Amino acid sequence: MNNINNIYFDNAATTLPDSNVVALYNKVETEFFGNPNSIHHLGITANKYLDKARESIIKSFKLKNHRVIFTSSSTEANNIAIKGYCLAYKNRGKHIITTNIEHPSVLECFKQLRDEFGFDVTILNVNKHGVIRLDDLKFAMRNSTILVSIMAVNNEIGSINPIKEIAEIVHNYPKAILHVDTTQSIGKVDLDYDTIDSFVVSSHKIHGLKGSGCLIAKKNIKCLPLISGGGQEEGFRSGTQSVALAVSLAKAIQIAQKDILKKCLAMSSLNTLLRSELTKNKEIVLNSDSFCSPYIINFSLKNKKASVVVEALSRIGIYVSSVSACHSKYEASSYVVKAIGKDNFLASNTIRVSFDSSNNENDVIVFAKTLNEILRSLR
State the catalytic residues: 326
Q: Give the three-class secondary structure for 8.
A: strand
**CA–CA gap between residue 338 and residue 347 (Å, rounded):** 6
Give, for 244, the enclosing helix (H) or strand (E). helix 243-256
Go through the chain and tell me how many residues it has. Answer: 379
Question: Strands 296-301, 350-354: parallel, antiparallel or unpaired by DSSP?
Answer: antiparallel
**CA–CA gap between residue 272 and residue 279 (Å, rounded):** 11
**CA–CA gap between residue 179 and residue 240 (Å, rounded):** 26
Question: Strands 213-218, 145-149: parallel, antiparallel or unpaired by DSSP?
Answer: unpaired
Burial classification of residue 130, based on how many CB atoms lie within 10 Å of its CB (0-12 exposed, 13-18 middle, 19 or more buried): buried
Say if residues 233 and 241 touch (Cβ distance below 8 Å).
yes
Say if residues 102 and 181 touch (Cβ distance below 8 Å).
yes
For 154, what's the count of Cα atoms within 13 Å in the CB-facing half-sphere?
Answer: 33
**CA–CA gap between residue 274 and residue 277 (Å, rounded):** 5
Residue spans of alpha helices (H) in 257-334: 260-278, 306-315
